[in-house]
Amino acid sequence: QGCTQKYIVKNYFYYYLFKFSAALGEEIFYITFLPFTYWNIDHSVSRRMIIVWSIVMYIGQVSKDILKWPRPLSPPVVKLEMRTNAEYGMPSTHAMAATAISFSFFIATMNQYKYPLELGLVAAFVFSTLVCLSRLYTGMHTVLDVIGGALISAVLLVLLYPAWDTIDHLLLTSPFCPLFSIVVPLVLCYNYPKLDYYSPTRGDTTTILGAAAGATVGFWLNNQYAASAYTGKSIRPGFPLISSTMVFVLARFFVGILVVLLTRWLMKSMVLGMLGYRYKFPIRDLAARRRLEVEVPYKFVTYSSVGFTATVIVPLLHELLGLM
């Protein structure tokens, strides 16, 4: 089902504000903000955000396809998005992601850096609220979907927080970490709840778990063979505006993003080409790319390569270019 209603924008401020806010819960935000935090702020903060983000998003995506609550009817609402319209509504994973990322960032940094706690709390609240409101404005969720998503994410944060340090330590030091980080997400992706029709939730979940798996293997590898995560060498001493010049911050970011995007493009082309050869379909065949035996491996390998590149290859390149 597509977006068939015609509409007239009467308030461009709200229109662009909430269209932008909606993007803060999508891939374009994840692929920029999470690596930026790792390259320029603090490795430990980035690790904790990725752990929370992947767990929260998996639970949210699976919950949608188990509950099968429909999205708002159109009409009366006008839907400003088309891609996610095929998904179910409850809970809002945009609301879950925004709540998880903003508040895990606040919790992870409040004891490491000196800044007004009230300011950090307000920033996390405003960020998550804007994303939640964007889902109502774009007609993609009901109020209950959004509240449910935010509450589920908050509960998961409370439950995960006491185990943060333990999970982080195990992922950095356990010899089984690389195997666990790859096998468990793959098993979860291949055993994703089945629907009567195609929905992008399985592909999106595979993307998230793949990126987290690649990043986790990178964290472990760095801790084993590069600077230990506990020595302080891999942890930034402060926020970028304080600890280094904006030139170095921007240089690290743009070099890193360029490499990450190039990795995504190369791996996607290679893996799809190999799968197309194996299962005898043209790369541009959208229906074939949605099949389980194609979608899961191509998205998992592509985005695990992205996560690994962001945590291992890009920092090595930064060091080689003198950007550290």
- CA nearest 234: which of 246, 220, 248? 220
Helix (H), strand (E), coil (C) string for 144-193:
HHHHHHHHHHHHHHHHHHHHHHHHHHHHHHCCCHHHHHHHHHHHHHHCCC
Write down the catalytic residue from 43, 141, 169, 318. 141
Distance CA 99, CA 60 (A): 12
- CA nearest 44: which of 107, 102, 95, 98? 107
Write down the catalytic residue from 43, 94, 169, 318. 94
The DSSP line for 87-114 is S--SS-HHHHHHHHHHHHHHHHHHTTS-
Distance CA 106, CA 24 (A): 17
User: Residue 198 gets which letter from DSSP?
Assistant: -
The answer to whether 141 is a known catalytic residue is: yes
Give the residue numbers annotated as catalytic, written as ranges. 94, 141
